[in-house]
Structure 1
Amino acid sequence: MFKQSDPAPVPAAGLAAALAPFGTSRMLPREAYVDQAVFEWEKRNIFSGWHCVGHAADLDGVGAQRAVGSGASGILLVRGDDGAVRAFANVCRHRGHELMPCGASTKRRGVVCPYHAWSYKLNGELRNAPGFDQLDSFDAAEFGLTELRLVDWHGWLFVDPSGLDGDFADHVAGTEEIVGPYRPEDLTVVARHSYELATNWKVIVENYQECYHCSSIHPELSRISPPTSGENIEMPGNWMGGWMSMIDEAETMSLSGRSGGVAIKGLSEQEQRTVMYLVGFPNLLVSLHPDYVMTHTMTPLAVDRTHVECAWAFPREAAERPGFDPSYAVDFWDLTNRQDWAACESVQRGLSSPHARPGPLALQEDGVYQFVTRVARAYAGER
């Protein structure tokens, strides 16, 4: 994340309390979760840098197009004739009309604005502007789509709309050796669930970053993975997270502990007995299992509303097996997700009270501290 010029509109004393040493710190100021001005600041200063916009596999074949985000964060993803995915601002160079509505997808040999039929090549160059061919002063080369920085990393697409964030290698520093062995780019997404939550995006990440709540609301998860197991790790980039172990009888995270798929090849003994939970700041949650990889991609819609897409990816030899049923993983995590979503929405309602005050962190919430201090430093204009 790049250095900001305008600190976030949150109380300085509240930031100082959140940045205090672990064991004495507090949660972020209430304004961070309920104030529209803070949400607008986050869109300009956090989500304008590197963030995940989806899976490369979603753009299947030359001409595949997908629009993500809207307004200032509107992005058009396009797979070109050369097979590469590119990101463009979702803005026609004529009158600014969106090239595609948010969430829409299509597949065609070019990009066409639905307003006045300006069309573009898959590489963003202007192909045709109806009526302008009669103007000698019109130079088509000046009106190509605005291309944005994009990186395909292990099959996940990351975009830096501002063009001002640091090198992507710095963003993922320390993460390659953790994610690489699972080879997510070689897995096949078999199932997806979409959720729209009445909560701030940060509440979702904070919930994901601790299992202090697991014994209270996740009896199924707690039977397979002891809530007190594992530990969090420090990484030099913009990722954070930690691992949890499974009971000896379990093969994976499912209601029975059994796997209905196949193990990901090449994993270490430790990786076969644990689940690694990572946060790709700000909006990608990655859960690395012995036999599948699950992701949650968050899109903030409002200060108190977030869209979450959950995707489950399995080794091809499992996904292509006749009769393969991913429900052993999907049903387990859909149940767990819904338990979490109810808690997150209740937290949001509680924080909406004028009587809410930032609380302390338990020793089991060091992962929450990782995230809260990352956000607090961003609010203060630091890396």
Structure 2
Amino acid sequence: MPDFDWTLPARDYRDPALYERERQEIFAKNWMLFTWGERLKQPGDYVTGTLAGYPVFAMRDDAGQIRAFHNVCRHRGAQLLSEPHGTCGKLVVCPYHSWSYRRDGRLNKAVDFGSDAVFDPDAWSLYAIDAEEWRGLVFLRLKRGGPGLVEWLGPIHDMAADYPLENQHYFMSKDRDCEVDWKTYGENYLECYHCRTMHPGLCEAMDIDAYRIDTYGPERFFHLHAPKREGGLTRGLYFYRFPFLMLNLYDWGSSIATIEPLGPGRIRHINWYFFTDVSPEKADENRKSAEWSAQIVTEDLDIITGVQRNLNAGIYERGPLSPKYEYAVKSFQDMVREELAPRGPVQRVAAE
């Protein structure tokens, strides 16, 4: 039998202990797409959410900088902000005991504490996480320090330079909770072996025979491309940045997607659609374009939900990878292995 490369073992897609390692060693250490800048226009504007199980929020501060914090009060652990988005006053006030924090995260006041204790505003500031904005997209990183966002994006930054992201506006979202591991989804995204079987609409629009994926191991990203067929739309640029950022860029709009891991074998697939022209006159055309894209995701999720079910069942252990079509899957799996390689003691991402 030929000496194939093999998939990861099935247990790696369902093991809670491995998932906790991924949470600390992969998710927390990489930049993760969180929201878009138009939602944070003015000082005090905020967006809440969850990253790899950690409740967090991002806010525009008084100087116009985007800051991000764990959504937890330093007093008794209450959730500070409960709405998906909004605007707070000058202070973030805990709804439990009214401790308050400035927009830069520093403690403002421990209300009526009832003793002579003095709390250092810096020592008792909110648990901060890294936040940066790139061309209208807001990224967060749970573990502070490391490469800046542009450095992390690597060649993507320059390759996407002439696509008009800043001139595109949010149109709609399609988010789905799925019984699928984040690795199961990533591996499916990074091969077109299944395209002729699963994606007739995609095959009509693109020359699948010329489809290829360029892998960039050290930079942790993949460049996916195929020529459009006659009558297709415009040029496009398609990226997958490990562990789960997906950028599909066009002159007229963008499909921006990411994964929120919910646990071993569980994800939320998040997809935003932006268009240069979001006028009412273009609404029907834009919606058809977004729904066409969403249908391809639906086709993928339908099949890989069954894949995950079998990975969980305990019969299938591993399978061979096609050197012709699944070389990017192998590269993705190598990235998983490398980022989980021991590097000394595990460090927590939140202060004690």
Establish whether TM, by shorter chain, passes 0.5: yes
Note the C-alpha offset of 1:251: 1.8
Residues 265-319 of structure 1, C-alpha deviations (whole Å, 9 max, x = no match): xxxxxxx2xx33211221211112342210112111111211111111111xx12
Correspondent of 2:227 among 241, 245, 256: 245
Correspondent of 1:359 among 319, 327, 341: 319
Note the C-alpha offset of 1:35: 0.7
Task: Please name the residue that 2:304 is paired with.
Answer: 344
Task: Please name the residue that 1:215 is paired with.
Answer: 196
Correspondent of 1:68 among 34, 41, 49: 49
Task: Please name the residue that 1:324 is paired with.
Answer: 283
Note the C-alpha offset of 1:47: 0.9
Note the C-alpha offset of 1:340: 0.9
1:129 is aligned to 2:89: no
Task: Please name the residue that 1:15 is paired with.
Answer: none
Q: 1:222 to 1:121 in 2, by over 3 A?
A: same
Task: Please name the residue that 2:177 is paired with.
Answer: 196
1:174 is aligned to 2:163: no
Q: 1:356 to 1:113 in 2, by over 3 A?
A: same
Contact 2:27 2:52 survives alignment (8 Å)? no
Contact 2:257 2:269 survives alignment (8 Å)? yes
Residues 115-140 of structure 1, C-alpha deviations (whole Å, 9 max, x = no match): 11111111112223210386363433
Residues 28-73 of structure 1, C-alpha deviations (whole Å, 9 max, x = no match): 1212201111111111111111222222223242211122216863
1:114 is aligned to 2:95: yes
Q: C-alpha root-mean-square deviation of aligned residues, in Å?
A: 2.3
State, as a whole percentage, how many aligned pairs show the same letter.
25
Gaps of 5+ in 1: 1-22, 253-271
Q: 1:175 to 1:246 in 2, by over 3 A?
A: same
Note the C-alpha offset of 1:94: 1.1
Distance in 1 between the 2:209 and 2:330 partners? 17
Contact 1:170 1:237 survives alignment (8 Å)? no
Task: Please name the residue that 1:149 is paired with.
Answer: 130
Gaps of 5+ in 2: 344-352
Distance in 1 between the 2:190 and 2:327 partners? 8
Q: Secondary structure at the match of 1:346?
A: helix
Contact 1:28 1:376 survives alignment (8 Å)? no
Q: Tell me which amino acid in the other structure corresponds to 1:223.
A: E
Q: 1:227 to 1:381 in 2, by over 3 A?
A: farther
Task: Please name the residue that 1:45 is paired with.
Answer: 25
Q: 1:70 to 1:327 in 2, by over 3 A?
A: closer
Q: Tell me which amino acid in the other structure corresponds to 2:20.
A: E
Q: 1:276 to 1:138 in 2, by over 3 A?
A: closer
Q: Tell me which amino acid in the other structure corresponds to 1:350.
A: N
Contact 1:39 1:302 survives alignment (8 Å)? yes
Note the C-alpha offset of 1:228: 2.4
Residues 79-131 of structure 1, C-alpha deviations (whole Å, 9 max, x = no match): 11222211112221112222234x72221123121211111111112223210
Q: Secondary structure at the match of 2:155?
A: coil
Task: Indicate the structure with greater strand content.
Answer: 2
Q: 1:323 to 1:128 in 2, by over 3 A?
A: same
